[in-house]
Structure 1
Amino acid sequence: MQRRVLGLAAVVITVVGVAGCGSSDPAESGSTSSKGDKTTQVKVGIVPIVDVAPLYLGQKKGFFSSRGIQLEMVSAQGGAAIIPGVVSDQFQFGFSNTTSLMIAQVKGVPIKSVVNGSASTGKVGADVSGVAVKKDSSIKSAKDLAGHTVAVNTLQNIGSTTVRESVRLAGGDPSKVKFVEMPFDQMPAALEGGRVDAAWMGEPALTIAKAQGARLVASPFAETDPKLTLATYFTSTKLTKQNPDLVKKFAAAVGESLQYANDHPDEARQILTTYTKIGGDVLNKLALPSWPTDVDMASLQKLASLGEADGLFDGKKPDLNALFS
């Protein structure tokens, strides 16, 4: 897994450079005619994780095809690949965590969030991410993470920001936490082998680590805000102007998919087997995110404030209304 946010910062120049180098008209580039009816081929850049289950479920249920959209999911390593891919018309839409979108916006990347993606369950101890330690670790709570090394999948992003908030809320000193970057799938072994003191993991890595005896000491998303909007689907500002009807139809189809996934969690869980290698006990035990149809602006305002305190935005403030509403 490539570095997502450090990579994102590194490719901003590339993004701006290629912004005008895709198809001259993204509104037309994906359209074909089938039996007299216009069908628009839409590519969505995604990370194949639990959070995007509604997209696959909605495709299966026909929520996209009923709106004339032929959906294709294209896996990428993370925002460092998805964001420039959207801006250069490689993808019409993309999926990204909200902090990465804020970072891109303040760097001048022309993107716009169009529909919600996923949110925290709001349940401390049963969320889609958590900080775990070895069973016999001296770390008993988030406060004790100060002075220790914590693995995160990307430095200076939503993980480290929310972990620091958990430490702060527990009465510890967040400035004394040392973060190291590591792919989620390597964290359970690194924790078990003592290469890190703690690891902030998403699913299914968190469930795998628990099965190996790891103990949960913090649920940063839920502790930061129980309604925290974690990720959204976004597009280029160019597409919102050139083909607003497509954007509207895509957002409506995703919204219907989110609602269906929330109402049918067993089906959402089962669809994971079609695009991931998750199965067995891990499939049955892992926590699914919440999939509300709307972003929670209050939670994003808090996340942005925490990001500002962490220096993620180079002294600038993300325009949340322009980005998410």
Structure 2
Amino acid sequence: MSFPRLFLALVVTVALSVTGCSGDDSGTASGPPKVRVATIGVSGAAAMVLGVNRGIFREAGLDVQVVPAEAPAVIPSVVGGQAEIGFLNAPAVLLARSNGVPITAVSSTSTNPADPAQNFIQLQVAADGPIRTPQDLAGKTVAVDTLYQLPHVSIRNALRAEGVDVSTVKFTELPFAAMADALKKGTVDAVNPAEPFVAVGLAAGARNLLSDSVGQTPAMPQSVFLASERYVKSDRATVDKFRTALARACEYAQAHPDELRATLPTYTKVPAALAGTIKLPVYTTTAEPSGWQQWADILTQQQIAKKPIALEGAYLQ
């Protein structure tokens, strides 16, 4: 889905939510608040899923339900009331807000490892193909899961950091799950998957060419959980419980990587045999304001954001 169509979908959803067609049934009198979390099947969400499985959110007084979703549907589902919270990324939050979509990042949940080679998003090419350096991508087609989401924005930034003229590279949308096959068939020249699909690509004969984290700093938040401004204002107590439980879940995930890896096949398409080899992000709810500002600057520099990005209200501290 291109950005104009994605934004149109968001606007329509906002209009529906304003007229009261949200379908929100997050609270019940007979039990803990139900929190539906629209979640894409990537490793960045693993700490939250593990926390749900371990009962960490239940202990915090929440009934958290993991709802599978594709990246383009996360923000519309949250704004429209089909989910209370969504899993996505920092650039997506800032870009949506710059276009008037009333969402807020309630917590970060991951950042990049210090070593770019260990990053959980990697640009891949055919191992035996002609593309040997980032500069070889001039005039080539790169598949990203969704335009203007984290992998697309971050790989554009990484290519710029490597001195590549990004205007010479064509980006096309392709689901993560279809990337390895498309690269093998030669329908695209390179792909930009997030784990667990980096491991899937390597197993299918791909080679990592460039880490998406090149050109970034450790202060920059990556995966985040977001909610509508309306939900944050109307049910801040539930949001705060979610934030507290998520912090515990991230701490637990960092301390128990084997248990976290065993969780991956339960909500992603990664085979159990590969779950032990994929690259993991650093699971943390700590995000520095300077990191958010860096994302805002990147979106402006790349002329992806058509309006100035105001950070006030973009994320909870």
**TM-score normalized with structure 1 length:** 0.89
1:288 counterpart residue number: 280
Q: Which residue of 2 aligns with 1:53?
A: 46
- The equivalent residue for 2:310 is 319
Which of 4, 7, 11 is equivalent to 1:9?
7
1:267 maps to 259
CA contact (8 A) 1:119 1:228 kept: yes
Q: Does 1:146 align with 2:143?
A: no
Query: Which residue of structure 1 aligns with residue 65 of structure 2?
Result: 72
1:143–1:168 contact (8 Å) kept in structure 2: no
Kept after mapping to 2: 8 A contact 1:259/1:293: no
Correspondent of 1:30 among 27, 49, 52 = 27
Write the distance in 1 (CA, Å) between the matches of 2:153 and 2:26. Answer: 39
Give the one of 17, 34, 46 matched to 1:41: 34
**Which residue is 2:109 aligned to?**
117
- Distance in 1, matches of 2:285 and 2:8, equals 32
Say if 2:161 is the partner of 1:169: yes
- Distance (Å, rounded) in 1 between the aligned partners of 2:98 and 2:86: 18
The Cα shift of 1:274 comes to 2.0
Question: How big is each residue's C-alpha offset from its partner over 1:294-316, in whole Å with a ceiling of 9 and x where there is no partner?
Answer: 123323322222211222222x1
Q: What amino acid is aligned across from residue 166 of structure 2 in structure 1?
A: P
Cα distance, 1:286 vs structure 2 = 0.9
Per-residue CA shift, 1:53-99, capped at 9, x if unaligned?
11221112222111221111111122x32222222322111111222
Aligned residues: 316
State the shift of 1:20 in Å: 2.3
Alignment gaps of 5+ in structure 1: none
| 1:251 paired residue among 221, 226, 243 | 243
Partner of 2:213: 221
Mapped partners of 1:285, 1:43: distance in 2? 30
Equivalent position to 1:205, from 197, 201, 209: 197
Q: Confirm or deny: 8 A CA contact 1:8 1:104 kept in the other structure.
A: no
> Quick one: distance in 1 between partners of 2:80 and 2:64?
18
Query: Counterpart of 2:291?
Result: 299
Q: In angstroms, what is the RMSD of aligned CA positions?
A: 2.2
Distance 2:41 2:204 in 1: 24
Contact preservation (8 Å) 2:77, 2:83: yes
Query: Percent identity of the aligned residues?
Result: 31
User: Partner letter of residue 75 of structure 1?
Assistant: P
Structure 2: stretches of 5+ with no match in the other structure:
none
Matched AA of 2:70:
Q
* Structure 1 residue 140: Cα displacement: 2.2
Residues in 1 aligned to 2:282 and 2:4: alpha-carbon distance in whole angstroms: 28
Tell me how far apart the structure 2 counterparts of residues 324 and 24 of structure 1 sit (CA, whole Å).
Answer: 23
